[in-house]
Amino acid sequence: MSNESLFAYVNGEYVPRDQAKISVFDVGFLRGDAVFDTTSAWKGRIFKLSAHLERLESSLRAARLSCPLSLEELRGVIIETTRRSGLRNAYIQTIVTRGEPPFGVRDITQCRPGLIVFAIPYVFILNPEQVRTGGRAMIAATRALPAQCLDPKIKSLSRLHFDLAMLQGKAAGMDVSIMLDLDGHVTEGPGFNVFVAKGGVLFSPPEGILMGITRQTVFELAAEQRIPAREAQLTAYDLYAADEVFLTSTAGGIMPLVEIDGHPIGDGKPGPLGQRVHGLYWALRESGRHGTPVFPEST
């Protein structure tokens, strides 16, 4: 698909991708003062759109931002942007920026919020071949931001710490990086949550993380299938000693890791529990359950 066929919604207008622009004076650009949420469509249906909009609303409230549209109007814009881009399998991002203050004014309470929505072809953190064989990770030296500074539950554009961790991993030849908090507990990675499987039980960190929609879906699927799953504080030791480790994200779903910091996880191959969850997740996506249709024929 060419870039010319993709559309974005920018501050009240649907425009082709190459015409999607914001002001260099927008505080969202200047200081990362913006919140966002990422949804995805599969086979013409947007997965758990209401849950994503509710999470966006929570981020807006916590960041003292207001959206130029109501959530119901925003729902329509997300669907229409995806439809205009002609994407059945899409990665859709919605961004609300603090906006631009009057010229020469530093008071950010006088900013007028901005709104951007775009849809691009579906994105994988680990590509399908890496999902099949398992990814390699490292624990980054860069630590996660503590909630006392910027609560990770706010999905904000202030993500330099994520980028630094990601770049460290790439420089070491790894696929992804996992971050710890200041006390050495496992949190998350750039764009994903973490699960550990040990003795047939799934564990995921309880705090210092974005409350991922895919993460919550794993807990729901586990409950339906009677797979034991709970939140628990984890350390690097728990990653190294795990039977299995997998990542969860809108960008790729369920993604197994087979090595962390040079330690093989389990037998060094994607494990049966993670593979089972992977199958359940994609069966759910394929079914259209929790899906909002983008095109008339998807209803």
Q: How many CA atoms lie within 13 A of 99 on its CB side?
A: 20
76 and 149 in a single domain? The answer is: no
Domains in the chain, number? 2
For residue 255, what are its two tokens?
A: 């993604």
Helix-then-strand count for the chain, H and E: 8, 15
182 and 269 in a single domain? The answer is: yes
Q: How many CA atoms lie within 13 A of 162 on its CB side?
A: 15
> For residue 286, how many other CB atoms are within 10 A of its CB?
12
57 and 143 in a single domain? The answer is: no
The stretch 294-298 carries a mean pLDDT of 81
Give the pLDDT of residue 3: 54
Q: Which residue stretches of the chain are H helix?
A: 27-31, 49-62, 71-85, 128-133, 160-171, 213-225, 236-240, 272-287
Domain of 168, CATH number, reads 3.20.10.10
Render pLDDT for 24-45 as a digit per residue (tens, 0 to 9).
999 999 999 999 999 999 999 9
Beta partners for residue 116, in sequence order: 10, 95
Residues constituting the chain: 299
The stretch 144-164 carries a mean pLDDT of 96
Name the domain boundary from 87, 121, 155: 121
pLDDT reading at 135 higher than 80 = yes
Q: How confident is the model at residue 94 (pLDDT cuts 50, 70, 90)?
A: very high
Give the pLDDT of residue 104: 87
161 and 103 in a single domain? The answer is: no
In a domain, 42, yes or no: yes
Name the domain boundary from 100, 121, 142: 121
Question: Measuring CA to CA, which residue among 214, 20, 1 is closest to residue 87?
Answer: 1
Render pLDDT for 168-217 as a digit per residue (tens, 0 to 9).
999 999 999 999 999 999 999 999 999 999 999 999 999 999 999 999 99
In a domain, 294, yes or no: no
Using CA atoms, how far residue 286 sits from 46, 131, 165, in Å, is: 11, 18, 33
Give the pLDDT of residue 298: 53
Q: How confident is the model at residue 296 (pLDDT cuts 50, 70, 90)?
A: confident
Using CA atoms, how far residue 112 sits from 98, 169, 241, 247, in Å, is: 7, 38, 50, 37
Beta partners for residue 39, in sequence order: 92
In a domain, 156, yes or no: yes
Domain of 33, CATH number, reads 3.30.470.10
136 and 280 in a single domain? The answer is: yes
DSSP for residue 92: E
Give the pLDDT of residue 4: 59
In a domain, 216, yes or no: yes
Give the pLDDT of residue 261: 98
In a domain, 103, yes or no: yes
187 and 111 in a single domain? The answer is: no
Render pLDDT for 240-255 as a digit per residue (tens, 0 to 9).
999 999 999 999 999 9
204 and 62 in a single domain? The answer is: no
The stretch 278-295 carries a mean pLDDT of 97
Give the pLDDT of residue 299: 53
| Full residue range of the structural domain in which residue 252 is found | 128-286
150 and 91 in a single domain? The answer is: no
111 and 160 in a single domain? The answer is: no
DSSP for residue 18: G
Strand 112-121 and strand 7-10: pairing? antiparallel
How would you label 84-108 residue by residue, b for 16+ Cβ within 10 Å and e otherwise? Answer: bbebeebbbbbbbbbbbbeeeeeee
Q: How far apart are CA 174 and CA 135, in angstroms?
A: 8
Name the domain boundary from 121, 140, 155: 121
In a domain, 297, yes or no: no
Give the pLDDT of residue 220: 98
pLDDT reading at 110 higher than 60 = yes
135 and 76 in a single domain? The answer is: no
In a domain, 185, yes or no: yes
Contact (CB, 8 A) for 167 and 195: no
In a domain, 273, yes or no: yes
Average pLDDT of the residues of the chain: 96
46 and 82 in a single domain? The answer is: yes
106 and 160 in a single domain? The answer is: no
